[in-house]
Structure 1
Amino acid sequence: MNLGEVLSSARKDSAITVDDLAAALSIRAGLLIDMERNNFSKCGGDVYARGHLRNIAPLLGLDSAMLISLYNAEHSMESTSLNEQLVENNITKVPHEKKNISWKVPATFSLVILLVVGVVQIVQSNTSDEPTPQAVATATPTNVAPTPTVTEPAVDPTTPASTANVSMTLSASDAVRIDVVIEGTHVFKGEMLAGESKNFDSDSSISVYFSDAGAIDVTVNGENLGRLGGTGEVLRRTFR
């Protein structure tokens, strides 16, 4: 089993879609698809490819050292021989005989430069002799449009309360990055500070990525679930 097949199998076993994994990593879904096909050419080089693998490993329950070892064995440019790299990059070329440059070439080039400089000086001299017309500033009256009056819509006291199937409250006890997806839309992606709380509602489901599951308390539909993981644990959960 190659590296791409290992990634694909682990993602499917974790019941994580390509789009969810791409959102958690903040990378394109197309890049993940290429990596699962064992194609790492679009990662931007060995350093970026290894970085992606280190970020993917905890989300799929894999050993990052094992992934890096597979990558180095199958894809790393550092593992190929110098001769192979020279052939791949067409570095080895047939030497050509050095040609002597005739003295006429620099002489002709110098003459052309002198002619160009002379023409420029003549044009500048003729331009400076012509009087420059002075622009006359004309004051233009400014019409200030009246500010429209915005009428706030009346609040209907009979409007029923929210009937969302999933209501969630997140309360951070420490700084933590989260990514909240509701019905396929990223409604919030950023950092919550210690003591900060946020509420989210959905008619179907709410999917949340936590960079540190031990730094945030979760309440769903009035039920306090507490902290869903340990300190520093990367976690994604979907609530329906």
Structure 2
Amino acid sequence: MSIGNSPSDDRPSVGRALAQARIAAGLSIDEVSTTTRVRVPILQAIEQDDFSRCGGDVYARGHIRTIARVVGIDPEPLVERYVAEHVPASDLAPVAPLYEAERIRSEPRRPNWTAAMIAAIVAVVGFVGYTAVKGGGDSGVTAKSTPTSPAATTTKPGATPRGNGVPKPPQASGSAIAAAPPGKVTVKASAASGASWIQATDSNGKQLYQDSLKKGQSVTWTDDKKIKLIVGNAGAVQLFVNGKDIGRAGGKGEVAHLTYTPGDPTQG
């Protein structure tokens, strides 16, 4: 490799051509270095046609191409001139394939273990879900419904009270309007807009219910002859008697005393 060869014609040398193009583009050595990642001392040497700092002909040609593209000129004529002036003919055949091989060589692909693990997890979850669904379908076990209120349990007329002597509240009715069995009286109370305290007794004076009813809860009672109600905050309670919506039990904050029979919905 020769250093600082002078051109044999009127054309500028490789280094001089790169320097002129850089100046014409308004770029400094530091700016070209930042863009190309070629160190400043190497750039300065190349512009003086000193390619000894490049580390060999392959790297020198790579630097020439990179710098030429940044300063806005065609790199191939400069590379050809560099080869003609600095590279012996005996080195051309092996050098070019070596440079191209280094330029296009890529790292071997590694197995995508993350994708494989995700696929395995999805398969396991799918199998477990299928097994659970299939097993649940073969077991013949039907899930039991849960009352809407922990305190709401069914108390039939005539049943003996438990615990402190106060019957548990009936289970909340799932229907919008309480159905009326033939020849009986059915009353449903729903705390539609607020909480209320309610007492319900049957025709024999037996207490069917005595508790607070929270907003959104409802209770239903049935008797052969008569159901009597005492309803606190009556304006918050919606009543359904023998399958008919009769509206609010009373005014907001009022205490209503009501009686219903199989022939109603007429308030007593």
Pick the TM interval, shorter chain: 0.3 to 0.5
The structure with the larger Rg is: 2
| TM-score, reference length from structure 2 | 0.29
| TM-score, reference length from structure 1 | 0.32
